[in-house]
Chain A
Amino acid sequence: MAVCAAIVGKDNSPKFFCCVNPDEELAFQFKVLSSLDIIEEKLNPTNKSASDNRELYLGQLYSLETCKIYGYVTNTKIKFIIVVDSTNMALRDNEIRSMFRRMHSEYADMVSNPFYIPGEAITSKMFDANIKSIITGTV
């Protein structure tokens, strides 16, 4: 189970942020921000290593002592970020990948919602609950 998930827009402004432990939200925000540096570098078109642009999953971005951070970027440059506790060995790359995919489809549903204005922060409680259940693995 992951401890935090974030959706960041094309302009790097946060669209959605959720944390299992709300007290640590600020600390996680900083971690997510730091990992945006890596994402930006990976998306940098001058960077040759960004080879296969069909692959949305970016893999592990950061491995800190307390947590591991994974990234995923849609074609429209919406960034999904998942933070996993580094003591958690149960989550393999594949699980993370499928977590991202489910997050992506939730986000796609959200964007299709006529009451949501794309580009604004997501405030839907339903969405929040869905993402939380994805990252905590209760789905």
Chain B
Amino acid sequence: MALQGALAQYQASMGLPAELRAAPLALVGFSGLDLVNNAIHKAIWDTFHNRSERGAVLYQSISNTHKFPVLKPRRNTYDWYIPKGILKRNWLAKHLQQVPALIAVFFDLDWKEPQWTEKMIECASKVQSMRAALEGRDTCIVVVLIQSQAPMPEDPLAAERAVALCSSCELNSQSLYVLPHGQHLSGYATRLENAFLELCQAYYHSCVRSIKQHKEHLNKNAHQSLYVRHQFKMGVLSELRQDISAAHKHYTLAYSNLQEIRVVDTNALEIRTVAGFLNYKICRLLFALNLPRDAIGQFKAHIDRFRARIGFSELVFEHWAWLSKQYEIFGDTFDEAVKLGLPAVQTQHPGIYYQQAATLAVARKGACLELCARALAYPHPDPLEGAESMEFYGQRPWRPGKVAAEPPEPQWESSGIQAIQYLESQINHSGVIISLYGLAIAQYKIYKCPRTRRHLVLQMADECFSAQDYGKALTLYTHMLADYRAEQWWGVISSILEKAALCAYLTANVEDYLQLALEILAAPVLLSLDDKRRFYENFNRVLKRQVPFGDPKLAHEALQTAIIQWQPVLGGAALNPALDIAQACLDVKWRFASPAFPVDQPAQLALFIRSTCPFPLGATRVAVQVATARASWDLDVCQAVTFQRDAIQRFTVEVQAEVADIGCELLVEGVTVFMGVAGQSEVSLRFRPPEGADERPELSHFRRSRPVGHFDAMQSVSRALVVPRDSHLGVRFEHAPPALVGEVYDIAIVIANEEACAISELRLLVSAEAAVEFSSDASMRPEKTPLALPLPPTLEPGGVATARLWLRASQPDIKAVAVRISYSLTGERPVVCVMNDSVTLPIVQPFEVSAQYLSGMMQRVSKFYAGERFAVMPLVRFLSPWPISVEGTALEFTHPVRALEDAQSHLAGSVFNQDEVGTEVVLAVCDRQADQNLVVGEYAVTWQRANGRPTTTQVTLHGHHCDWIPLTLELQAPAHGLVRTPMIIQYQLTNQSSHLVRLDVGMEASEAFMFAGYRQTVAAVLPFSTKTLRYNLYPLLAGSVALPRLVLSLPQHGNEGPALRPDQLAQLIERTIPCSIYVMPQVKGAPPLPALTA
């Protein structure tokens, strides 16, 4: 038991004492609170103690009988004082936990208390007794009155009694506080706490000052350690008053003072320990001051300074332990700072220090193994006795408080060293190292160093191995293998494999051992041939159920234990380990012969197996697993083969997919190679398809330079698509393209069975893009798409079936009509076949229709006049390459245009070829004025192609706008005249307005005619009436002769009629009056005169 205690003490002495690690908080003592019996007191204590945003204060409840540490008498001179050490062990704890900076005396007292005087005296006595207990320490004392009522402002009674109370307690008025315990307790607590903190800081400040005064009494020669001690104390006190920059200054001074002390064997440990403490404090404060670079710099300087100071050569491990601990502590400090928000980077983070700590811990372990072997027993009497109650930090228990100059006592010295060596040998070094690696690994993971992390894991595994935790080491090794494999660091892999195989051997782990052995036998693994041979033999031995030979490097005992472990494993029931192979001495590749296979043919899968093992490997069986979404197959590839080094074996298997697999992928799930003895110990190696393409595209060009079929250049092809079998149907489309817009177009689909056997379940589906109507019948009944066309369900070989399809398009375009024919072959196995075909169909307009508008004089017009007739002349220009016969045409006029005659179609019955134009004329009149272009009417053409169905195409004819003038003019004349035979012509002037129209009418003379009638007159045309001007003409010349010109003009005066402009009149005449007439010559002889008619 005593030894356990000593061991714990020894281990603790390496690290930092708890009081140093604790965050320095101002200590405030609460006296007069009865926490057990008084609920109010308990509530007050809890409020202070459990506040969430508590300041840098530590509350301590102090009982009435509390004993404070005794105050040492002040020293006026240090002349004869020789310090025995640097830092006293009890000082920190004393100030952090035992001597409060402030004591608050709580007392229940209301201002309106009836027995005021008694209570006041009681309170004063409490204060006095507390003061007595402190025995002259400068600790502040304040009185807090617990009152049930909230204080009233300007209460004269309160003010008077407060003064009385202060004077009786010998306190100044600032030291009296009132705490109403009703509502808002936490608010009062916050304010009180702030007041307390201020007083505490004043107290600690005065402490610092009093220590500073000592400095004058010291001299450098005798009191070097006091310089350090005082600066350290001032540092701690500054920290207590939360002045961290002052604290940092004091600690730095302490550290530099410490370096001035001469190091000898006897004080080396103490100086090292104290330096560690100071360094810890400095680094921590630098991080708190947000100076991480300075902290790291300080730590590096610290390490550099102490790295070489090894001390006792018998206790080298102590030095390594201390260094390791320094790194670990710094790592912790760093990590703490990071958790508080310091950003760390990849090259500077806590993990680096943990890693160093681990490395040094390994060195410590090595030194321990070397030095502690001789320390077989703990010496008696115990040289380390009283180690936990030493006065100073870092001194040897067997010579406490010795001044550096005194020579050590050899007897005690060696006994002490032996004790430490013994304790060291009892420590679980591996545990320490592994936990440090664990910390480092976690940090490296955070800072994105996967490879460094892996290395650390391997080092951890090495440590586990040396701690004989082979199982854990094996797990760690095998987990790391995959990553190294991915980056192909074969040197590293080889070393891992060798160690992992050793672990597997020592734990008798058959599966891992076999798997590792297979991987070791692979060519890229850089092990000597002898080693490989050993693994090869062992592999075969395990398959034969013989204990494998161990590594000759292993110790004899370890071998024995391993053999004992192997025996039950190999002697047990059937041994059929299944191994998932990522990398082994067999390389397996496979490829489907083509990316798609028709369902009626078996899919060809080629398998290539190459051995890189230097020795022949025998397999009992090779199987391949292929699957689709529906089913899976396990196919035997071959039996009993032997793989020779670098020889490539090629196997072929066939997979027959089912009809239901059409559209699915055939997927090679893996290849399994069986080795060993079937039924007894048969190891199955499962090779899975590689994930992703490992080929790098930029290098594929170079790879191609290898001979085709080279194993390394080969890519596994694990997927093949199952497709329907190729169809042998003959499909022909019989039709006469192009299709014409609007016509019902007929396509005959002729299907000829050219298969070897009869087919059944014949179905034909038609689909096309939008804007095409389909029908399975000539009436163009709407049907849903895709359209199934009626067909006979079966077809004998050589048989022909025809399906007819009618379609109609409304736009000229090029459409693809897709046809899908599905059927099944009636062979021994029903095989579904699908054939897709399509026909591209140009669709053109049969003709185009334009219209011309003519005046009564058959001249092109660009506007209509209301009430004046005009001619509509539709022109139909035929575009179809096929002749088109027109059944009929019709012109439906739209109001206000109406026909002037019952027109009959002139085009009906004609046949037109391409580029021919058909035209006809219809007279029409517009009744109303219109400002916009008029729609004259709908022109409907009913047409058909030869042997086709009649189709009616309607075209809208667009006309011109329609003007209105009040006057219309008409000439009534015979179709022709005869020379020297009189004839009568009449000009009819019609007034369409409700006003009188006056016109000057004139008739110009003509050489061709003599005429009778008004030469010049004024015509007054009454509203809605017609005025007729008659002339009797006597033609003098024959031919097409100009008529005498009619001149209409507006009278110059008194024109009150409707607006008529001279240009309108001129246009009217030009439009409506022919300017010439045919005059026939006289017939030879004397024909009878025709009757004059008008």
Residues of A within 8 A of B (CB): 10-14, 17, 25-26, 29-30, 33-34, 36-38, 40-41, 61-62, 65, 76, 117-119
Contact = CB atoms under 8 A, between A and B. Distances in A.
A33 B702 contact: no
Contact of A26 (B491, B696, B698): B491
Contact of A13 (B347, B452, B454, B488): B488
B487 A12 contact: yes
B792 to A, nearest CB: 63
B36 interface: no
Contacts of B67: none
A37 B699 contact: no
B327 to A, nearest CB: 11
Interface centre among A25, A30, A62 (most CB of B within 10 A): A30
A38 B447 CA distance: 10
Contact of B455 (A13, A33, A117): A33
Given A34-B455, A37-B450, A37-B452, A29 B702 contact: no
Contacts of A26: 491-492, 495
27 contacts: A11-B696, A12-B487, A13-B487, A13-B488, A14-B490, A14-B491, A26-B491, A29-B489, A29-B492, A30-B492, A33-B452, A33-B454, A33-B489, A34-B449, A34-B451, A34-B452, A36-B451, A38-B346, A38-B347, A41-B346, A41-B448, A61-B347, A117-B699, A117-B702, A117-B705, A119-B699, A119-B703
A16 to B, nearest CB: 12
B346 A17 contact: no
Given A117-B703, A117-B706, 19 more contacts: A13-B489, A14-B487, A14-B490, A14-B491, A25-B491, A26-B495, A29-B491, A29-B492, A33-B451, A33-B489, A33-B492, A34-B449, A34-B452, A37-B449, A38-B346, A38-B347, A41-B448, A62-B347, A117-B699
Contacts of A65: 356
A63 to B, nearest CB: 9
A105 B221 CA distance: 65
Interface residues of B, number: 25
A47 B409 CA distance: 63
A11 B693 CA distance: 13
Interface in B495-514: 495
A61 B356 CA distance: 18
Given A29-B491, A38-B346, A119 B696 contact: yes
Contacts, number: 62
Contacts of B346: 37-38, 41
A118 B702 contact: yes
B449 A119 contact: no
A36 B448 CA distance: 11
Nearest to A36: B451
A92 B747 CA distance: 87
A123 B457 CA distance: 30
Nearest to A60: B347
Given A34-B449, A119-B699, A17 B347 contact: no
Contacts of B454: 33
Nearest to B458: A30
Interface string B682-700: 0000000000000010110
Nearest to B454: A33
Contacts of B347: 38, 61-62
Contacts of B448: 37, 40-41
Contacts of B488: 11, 13-14
Interface string B989-1016: 0000000000000000000000000000
Contacts of A12: 487
A117 B702 CA distance: 6
Contacts of B458: 30
A90 to B, nearest CB: 21
Contacts of B449: 34, 37-38
A65 to B, nearest CB: 8
Contacts of B489: 13-14, 29, 33
A25 B494 CA distance: 13
Contacts of A118: 699, 702
A10 B696 contact: yes
A37 B705 CA distance: 34
A62 B444 CA distance: 14
A118 B699 CA distance: 7
A17 B452 contact: no
A34 B451 CA distance: 5
Contacts of B696: 10-11, 119
